[in-house]
Amino acid sequence: MMAARTPVGMIGLGLMGTALATRLIDAGVAVIGFDIDPAKRSAFGGETADSVELVAARCRIIVIAVFKASQVEALLGELRGADIIICTTTCAPDEITDIAGHTSALGLRLVEAPISGTSSELREGSAVALVAGRADAIDAVGPVLDILCPRQTRVARIGDAARTKLAINLILQNNRAALAEGLAFAESMGLDAVAFLRAARESAAYSHVMDTKGEKMLKRDFAPQSRIAQTLKDAELILEQALLHRQHLPMTLLQTSLLRVAITLAGPDADSAAIIEAIRPSRVANGAAP
């Protein structure tokens, strides 16, 4: 266990960054947080700094939980003074390998650790970190990783965690869309949706998304555990990789178009469960579904 006097830096105080920081704070680890949005800094329950440089000056280990790779890149020059960066941002494989090269040139070590799971799953400890990097760097941040995400899978080289995360997200996103379509179909036939979801959970069609998103879809509870704009960003990364490798992904193409419709209807900050809004019978009847 790390001593509470050894602070860990947290760059990005959105849903995931706040959940990560909370796990550290609850374990007795001091956290110094930063977000470019002053409102997020004000809402953060722990200590904050007014700049990335101030975080790097006080923290040997820094966790990055920002929206996209270009934001990670923009931070690197401000992280001099730190030692090891844990990047939880979902990036394309070439993006994270470029980031690794730049961190090395700055004298920093990088651990790639995108997280499979929502902010709620992260808080409760059921999310999975996909970990890649040099063994010495991973070992050096082992106590921090164990707090952040007790469930971990080590993959080979930098970039492979991104590849693994995108392939997992492809399955997860299509499962979510299939659940939304199944619930909408059941509703359109006049079934009691709550009873149908209960039956589906006991059937061969069961998937974990029924537990995490089923009730949210039925109740139209789109308070975010994972924002749908992030889901769309990851879907677009998946499609970019598919194009690069000449792999046709027909289900993901359709699912991505549904995400765009759902964002139009529910807004980018809605939970990913809002994909059902692009599928429900009323949307089809009005000609709004793709």
- DSSP string computed for 14-78: SHHHHHHHHHHHHTT--EEEE-SSHHHHHH-SSEE-SSHHHHHHH-SEEEE--SSHHHHHHHHTT
Task: List all residues 6 or more positions away from 138 whose beta carbon is below 8 Å from its beta carbon.
Answer: 111, 131, 145, 154
Average pLDDT over residues 99-120: 96
Task: List all residues 6 or more positions away from 22 whose beta carbon is below 8 Å from its beta carbon.
Answer: 45, 123
Q: Looking at the predicted structure, is the pLDDT value of residue 3 above 70? A: no
Q: Which sign, positive or negative, has the C-alpha torsion 222, 223, 225, 227?
A: positive
Task: List all residues 6 or more positions away from 130 whose beta carbon is below 8 Å from its beta carbon.
Answer: 112, 113, 114, 115, 116, 152, 153, 155, 161, 164, 165, 168
By C-alpha distance, which of 290, 209, 215 is closest to 255? 290
Q: Which sign, positive or negative, has the C-alpha torsion 86, 124, 13, 34?
A: negative
pLDDT band at 45 (very low <50, low <70, confident <90, very high): confident
Q: Looking at the predicted structure, is the pLDDT value of residue 288 above 80? A: no
Average pLDDT over residues 54-80: 96
Cβ atoms of residues 138 and 145 within 8 Å: yes
- Category of 151 on φ-ψ map: left (φ > 0), alpha (ψ -120 to 50) or beta: beta
Q: Looking at the predicted structure, is the pLDDT value of residue 253 above 90? A: yes
36-42 long-range contacts, Cβ below 8 Å, gap at least 24?
37/13, 40/13, 40/14, 41/13
Task: List all residues 6 or more positions away from 288 whose beta carbon is below 8 Å from its beta carbon.
Answer: 261, 265, 278
User: What pLDDT score was predicted for residue 5?
Assistant: 64
Instruction: Tell me the two tokens of residue 240.
Output: 């970019």
pLDDT band at 1 (very low <50, low <70, confident <90, very high): very low
By C-alpha distance, which of 45, 42, 81, 43 is closest to 62? 81
pLDDT in tens, 142-153: 999 999 999 999
User: What pLDDT score was predicted for residue 276?
Assistant: 97
pLDDT band at 287 (very low <50, low <70, confident <90, very high): very low
3-state secondary structure of 121: helix
User: What pLDDT score was predicted for residue 290?
Assistant: 52
Q: Looking at the predicted structure, is the pLDDT value of residue 117 above 90? A: yes
Average pLDDT over residues 31-36: 97
Cβ atoms of residues 130 and 161 within 8 Å: yes
Pseudo-torsion of CA 68, 160, 231, 22, nearest 10°?
A: -70
Average pLDDT over residues 227-232: 97
pLDDT band at 282 (very low <50, low <70, confident <90, very high): low
pLDDT band at 6 (very low <50, low <70, confident <90, very high): confident
Strand partners, 153: 130
